[in-house]
Amino acid sequence: MGVVKYPANTQITEHFNSNEFRCPHCGVTRISTELVNKLEALMKKVHASKCIISSGYRCPYYDKQQNGFAGRHSEGLAVDCCFYDKNCKIIPSKVMCCVAYDMGFTGVAYIDKNYLHLDIRKNGTYYGDESRGNSSYWTDPYAYFHVSREEVEKYTGKTETDDLYQSHGLKRKWYPNVKFGDGDYAGVFGVTMDGLYVDKYKYRARVNGRWLPEVVGRSDYAGILGYAITDVAISGNVKYRVHVKNQKRWLPWVDGKDYNINDYYNGYAGNGSIIDAIEIKRY
Ligand SMILES: [Zn+2]
Ligand SMILES: [Zn+2]
């Protein structure tokens, strides 16, 4: 675990100096380098501007004096801390509990609305709520603290997943999957498209002048194999465009927020002509 006795005023990582972790009673700093690196990673994860350590190392004598027992702080494996966002506002500790839990800290405890306890104990786990005493535990921080994924993403940013889409060529096959927004498209120019899969989103296709029922994600594909697709509508935070086979050109990008099969101008992609390719990207 690399617990090191650091000299005073030693820069350990970009944001942390040994002084921040020292025992207030004797001035000694014994702290795990792994813990400090993990705190640094946690700061990056939430785009924090600053982390205040209110308690780091506590020598066994001092820890016992404070708590009645020598715990993880006396082993150099724990900190009590508070994080600030880009605008120097405190990130709620309940949010930090969720992020720290997801990052694999084995000790995470809520102290108050600003501060939390973090440690990297190797035997067992400790997920607590010290505002309710030392024997208050939780298993799922999101449920326990009523924190939504969106609330966490305000600090971490959207967690990118690889959403994919895939087209089928008339009398051919399913072409390879394409990632949203990587500059590629699904389909082969000159080959009529007759099927389309899009991960996660709601979408539908028009065949023979008729809109087929809406499909969601990979529960089904849009289209009828053997029949040309002329128009596509996709709903959600995406932009997409289709390529018209005979005109050999891309039609303008359409916004998934405007999803409406009755709106010829903005609601879907296509002009009633056979398409051979589609491109989808995120906002
Ligand atoms: Zn001490
Ligand atoms: Zn603590």
Domain edges within the chain:
3-156, 164-282
The whole-angstrom separation of Cα 280 and Cα 163 is 10
- Mean pLDDT across 122-150: 91
Residues with CB under 5 A from ligand 2 (ion): 78, 80, 117
Residue 225: the pLDDT is: 95
Residue 100: the pLDDT is: 95
The whole-angstrom separation of Cα 184 and Cα 206 is 23
The long-range contacts involving 140-143, CB below 8 angstroms and separated by at least 24 positions, are 141/94, 141/97, 141/98, 141/101, 141/108, 142/98
The whole-angstrom separation of Cα 105 and Cα 118 is 7
Give the distance (Å) from ligand 2 centre to CA of residue 144: 20
Which ligand sits closest to the CA of 26? 1
What contacts 104, CB < 8 A, 6 or more positions away?
none
Which ligand sits closest to the CA of 119? 2
Q: How confident is the model at residue 103 (pLDDT cuts 50, 70, 90)?
A: confident
Give the distance (Å) from ligand 1 centre to CA of residue 142: 36
User: Strand 78-84 vs strand 186-187: parallel, antiparallel, or unpaired?
Assistant: unpaired
Nearest CA among 45, 75, 41, 34 for reference residue 58? 75
Q: How confident is the model at residue 146 (pLDDT cuts 50, 70, 90)?
A: very high
pTM confidence score: 0.60
The whole-angstrom separation of Cα 282 and Cα 163 is 9
List pLDDT tens digits, range 53-66. Answer: 999 999 999 999 99
Is the domain spanning 3-156 CATH 3.30.1380.10? The answer is yes
DSSP 11: B
The whole-angstrom separation of Cα 95 and Cα 270 is 44
Rg of the chain, C-alpha, whole Å: 27
> Phi, psi at residue 267, to the nearest 5°?
-80, -20
Which has more confidence, 283 or 14?
14
DSSP H or E stretch at residue 108: strand 107-110
The whole-angstrom separation of Cα 269 and Cα 261 is 9
